Amino acid sequence: MEAKLIKLAGLGDERGNLVSLEANRNVPFEIRRVYYLYGTRADVSRGYHAHKNLKQLIVAVSGSCRFVLDDGAARTEVILDDPAMGLLVESNVWREMHDFSRDCVLMVLASALYDESDYIRDYDEFIRTVGVELSHE
Ligand code: T46
């Protein structure tokens, strides 16, 4: 699978940088929730789940971390280290986050409110879920 990286147009000038995120413009969905992760220890990995019905745009507004994305057929890795790049993660994509820098602040724009029943936290269940979906295509 390919990581979908979106270049977020900078509106900066000689004073510094500015990135604007707008629903259904440079963010390809209606934004219903924003959250951010920070202070994650370098020896800690997070994620290990997929979402059944959620789109997310993920931006490392500070620092860096490494994403592993898996659509059930293939895995890919991407390092997020640029506040002007957004990683678009569609539904039914298993994600893991590793190697957080001390200053990493990961901001996530999401298409829905928090709902634990939208999570698939078991990898075997994830594979069964996408396997079923692929067989319907
Ligand atoms: C994701 C990655 C990138 C809430 O109560 N509300 C929320 O909006 C969120 C995001 C989480 N929570 C609760 C659920 C757990 O009890 O906060 C706790 C930590 O969440 P989780 O273990 O899912 O965190 P991560 O870092 O593994 O994953 C998070 C997001 O949950 C997830 O949607 O894609 O960041």
pLDDT exceeds cutoff 90 at 124: yes
SS3 content of the chain, % helix, strand, coil (to 5): 10, 45, 45
The preferred substitution site among 57, 58, 68, 108 for testing ligand 1, maximizing ligand atoms within 8 Å of CB, is 108
Using CA atoms, how far apart are residues 29 and 26, in angstroms rounded to an integer?
9
Distance 57 CA to ligand 1 centre (A): 14
Confidence band of 10 (pLDDT split at 50, 70, 90):
confident
Task: Give pLDDT tens digits for 31-43.
Answer: 999 999 999 999 9
Q: What atom in ligand 1 is closest to the CA of residue 47? A: 27
Instruction: Using the mean position of ligand 1's atoms as its centre, give its distance from the Cα of residue 137 in Å.
Output: 30
Q: Examine the pLDDT at 134 and tell me if it is beyond 70.
A: no
| DSSP labels, 34-100 | EEEEE---TT--EEEEEESS--EEEEEEES-EEEEEE-SS-EEEEEE--TTEEEEE-SS-EEEEE--
Average pLDDT over residues 17-26: 96
Convert the pLDDT of each residue in 67-119 to its tens digit.
Answer: 999 999 999 999 999 999 999 999 999 999 999 999 999 999 999 999 999 99
Q: pLDDT at residue 12 above 90? A: no
Catalytic residue IDs:
49
pLDDT of residue 127: 96
Tokens read off for 5: 């990286």
What value does the mean pLDDT of the chain take? 95
d(CA 18, CA 10): 6
- pTM for this entry: 0.95
Coil, strand or helix at 107: strand
